[in-house]
Amino acid sequence: MKETNYIFQGTTMDKELTLKIRISEAGAERYVENPRFTIQSLAKKLKIDSKDIFELFPNRSEILNYYYDSRILVYKEQIQMIDNYSDYSLSEKLSLLILTLFDLFHEHREYVLMTYKKKVLCSMSMHSFESQFKNEIKQIFHSDRNLSSGSSLLINRAFYYSLFQTFNGFFYFWSRDTSNNYENSTALIDKWASFVQEVFYTRIADKGLDLGKFLFYHSPLSQFIKR
């Protein structure tokens, strides 16, 4: 049976998922207080039984890792509550994704600044936050009907990787941003998103593809290749 999420009124999140998010957020808070906190102390903070935590997470590390996964889940829940989200432009969707994640990071900023590099950037294997972020980017681009036909050549695994690295660059900027309400970070991200939209909405890629085809079929190089 679906229950109302403790974070959002009218959410579609079920009881188990909201509890996992609640545990991960409390875990982030406990980590800032004491990086060696115990599951028992976390359960006391949440006023639940420790066995309820162990039923969802095998250990403390999984709780702390899940915090980052949960940011994507909360973001997805938020966009489901936007009636006209499908009408948003490419730049609006890209800005919304990144700015929402930073807003969510801000709620536990000290924990994020303490752990993002270790848990996400320098993880022994790809953190699920990275794969989920790339999936959200993929969904944004694949669902956009305004992309120029030639721009599809630019969208591949390397492109998604580059966008995640761009996000990490924004994170570095945001982590050091001292402007009021992170206005400089917001402006930077909005300008970047507008630039990306300009590249993918215009026919620059189409014209580049036409030029490439012409050069290939009509240049001396093409005759050499066909031999």
Residues 29 and 44 in one domain: yes
Residues 20 and 117 in one domain: no
Our CA angle for 98, 2, 16, nearest 5°, is 65
CB 71 within 8 A of CB 104: yes
Residues 63 and 129 in one domain: no
Residues 26 and 111 in one domain: no
Q: Is the pLDDT of residue 195 over 50?
A: yes
At residue 6 the predicted structure's pLDDT band, cuts being 50, 70 and 90, is very low
Alpha-carbon distance 57 to 20, whole Å?
Answer: 8
DSSP symbols for 92-140? HHHHHHHHHHHHHHHHTHHHHHHHHIIIIIT-SS--HHHHHHHHHHHHH
Query: In the listed set 35, 51, 81, which residue is the last one of a domain according to the structure?
Result: 81
Residues 164 and 176 in one domain: yes
The tokens for 37 are 């906190």
Residues 153 and 179 in one domain: yes
Query: In the listed set 51, 81, 111, which residue is the last one of a domain according to the structure?
Result: 81
Number of independent structural domains in the chain = 2
Averaged pLDDT, 223-227: 49
Residues 67 and 90 in one domain: no
Residues 75 and 54 in one domain: yes
Alpha-carbon distance 52 to 43, whole Å?
Answer: 8
At residue 214 the predicted structure's pLDDT band, cuts being 50, 70 and 90, is low
Q: For the segment 79-126, what is each residue's pLDDT rounded down to a tens digit?
A: 999 999 999 999 999 999 999 999 999 999 999 999 999 999 987 778
Query: In the listed set 63, 81, 99, which residue is the last one of a domain according to the structure?
Result: 81
Residues 112 and 69 in one domain: no
Buried b / exposed e across 182-219, counting CB within 10 Å, b at 16+? beebbebbbebbeebbeebbeeebeeebeeeeeeeeee
Domain coverage including residue 215: 83-227
Residues 75 and 93 in one domain: no
> Count of residues for the chain?
227
Q: How far is CA 53 from CA 15, 21, 74, 111, 213, in A?
A: 13, 11, 20, 20, 59
Alpha-carbon distance 32 to 195, whole Å?
Answer: 37
Residues 94 and 173 in one domain: yes
Residues 62 and 99 in one domain: no
Q: For the segment 20-74, what is each residue's pLDDT rounded down to a tens digit?
A: 999 999 999 999 999 999 999 999 999 999 999 999 999 999 999 999 999 999 9
